[in-house]
Amino acid sequence: MGTTVFERRQPSASVIERSLESTAHAPFWLDDVERTAYPALAGGVRADLAIVGGGYAGLWTAIRAKERDPQRTVVLLEANRVGWAASGRNGGFCEASLTHGEENGQNRWPAEMEALERLGLENLDGIEQSVQRYGMDVDWERTGQLALAVEPHQIEWMAGENFLDQAAVQAEVASPTYLAGSWNRTGCAMVHPAKLAFELARVATELGVQIFERTRVTGIRGKGLQTVTAENGSVVTDQVVLATNVFPSLLKRNRLMTVPVYDYALMTEPLTAEQYDAIGWKNRQGLADSANQFHYYRLSADNRILFGGYDAIYHFGGKVREEYEERPETFRTLASHFFTTFPQLEGLQFTHRWAGAIDSCSRFCAFFGTARGGRVAYAAGFTGLGVGATRFAADVMLDELAGLTTERTQLEMVRTKPIPFPPEPAASIGVGLVRAAMDRADHNGGRRNLFLKTLDAVGMGFDS
């Protein structure tokens, strides 16, 4: 077994410890912006459409529903605060891909990839148009994403019209770890995640949507009209959208379709002009290296660097718990890998550390469906790509609730489901085996063993 560049070029322990010594355990994005408070539900409400979940999927559904029919009464129920979970904690990569990358899509739906790529770009363009139409202050930057080879075997993965050799990629961003790159200039935008959630909520309310926070939904009942029950009230509604993603589904059939995988991130203090000049990065692309256990990183509007990924941690039982968000060994690993990537930034400190749970499914991208005779629609399993794909999911769910046959609803990707995860203890054992095999592949020239190849063949995977 070989070593990776992050093992060959480790910074000193003192550099790592000093960088983390004054770090706050909180998502930077949520600390960086004021939020509007919405009331809790109290008593009974009647609606045409009730949406459960106040993240991107729920908020986009609310907006798209009102854009289609301004007279429709729409109620959104959130158990905590709008945007507090994955929508306020992610890296802010708003990607066009609906399939978690071209390779994953080609392996699963080769006949549809041309349409899926077109629909994904149209969806990203639609997000940008909404940002402009509604004057949304979300730090939107359509800078694209630069994939990076940091090991020799990854160079061939960069081949294509967007290929950058070592000199070209170093000219974009200066890191001794970069061997080559591939810059997709149009397929990704950078956005402030929390601002996006809060601005979507603002737009939704201006369109007439009622938002209720601190309103945990406990169930749905009814054969015709649906009654959405909460701890402090209820909503009688014609239709329901479930946008709870990583949290346990209100539909029993979906309980094993996703597992929560914890992803971790660090945010630096703002770079000085000298530090910024030392790394270049004038085109402000999103960056991601190409290992199975990969890092993603980007600049904020005030030139901080978010650095996340690598560890993707599943906890036995598949629960979402606050205590899983603090993992000192992962934050030390991320800090070490950061200074391997940018040794010229030694002395820079991290101001924030945090984690969030990703709604991972076995095919790496969202799945869709309806229940209760077509009165309930759902989407889940975005597996880290929900910043952009949730808007597409909103349109799919609204098409399905309306009984429409559209290009979206006829996609095999939309009509099929992923393989469910097994129950415990098999889930933990399986995830552990997959993570170990992926780590071995990263240390073995990217070569996937028989176990991973078998999972690939049956469409079962694990990723962040």
- Residues 6 or more apart from 97 whose CB is under 8 A from it? 105, 117, 120, 187, 385, 388, 389
Q: Which CATH superfamily is domain 5-31+145-184+260-358 in?
A: D-Amino Acid Oxidase, subunit A, domain 2 (3.30.9.10)
Query: Please, are residues 306 and 190 in contact by the beta-carbon 8 Å criterion?
Result: no
Residue boundaries of the structural domains of the chain? 5-31+145-184+260-358, 43-128+192-257+363-415, 426-458
- CA 317 to chain CA centroid, Å, is 22
Give this prediction's pTM.
0.95
Per-10-residue mean pLDDT for the chain, 464 residues long?
90 98 98 96 97 98 98 98 97 97 93 98 98 98 98 93 96 98 97 98 98 97 95 96 95 94 97 98 97 94 97 92 96 98 98 97 96 97 96 98 98 97 90 82 79 65 49
Residue 295 host element (H or E): strand 295-299
Give me the DSSP letters along 75-90: EEE-SS-TT-SGGGTS
Query: Please, are residues 284 and 190 in contact by the beta-carbon 8 Å criterion?
Result: yes
Using the 8-state DSSP alphabet, how is residue 418 labeled? P
Structure confidence at residue 350 (pLDDT): 98
Query: Please, are residues 391 and 60 in contact by the beta-carbon 8 Å criterion?
Result: yes
- Residues 6 or more apart from 327 whose CB is under 8 A from it? 262, 264, 311, 313, 355
Closest CA to 195 of 358, 391, 32, 394: 32
Structure confidence at residue 461 (pLDDT): 54
Positive or negative, the Cα torsion across 383, 358, 137, 390? positive
Structure confidence at residue 402 (pLDDT): 98
User: At 419, is the secondary structure helix, strand, or coil?
Assistant: coil
CATH of domain 43-128+192-257+363-415: 3.50.50.60
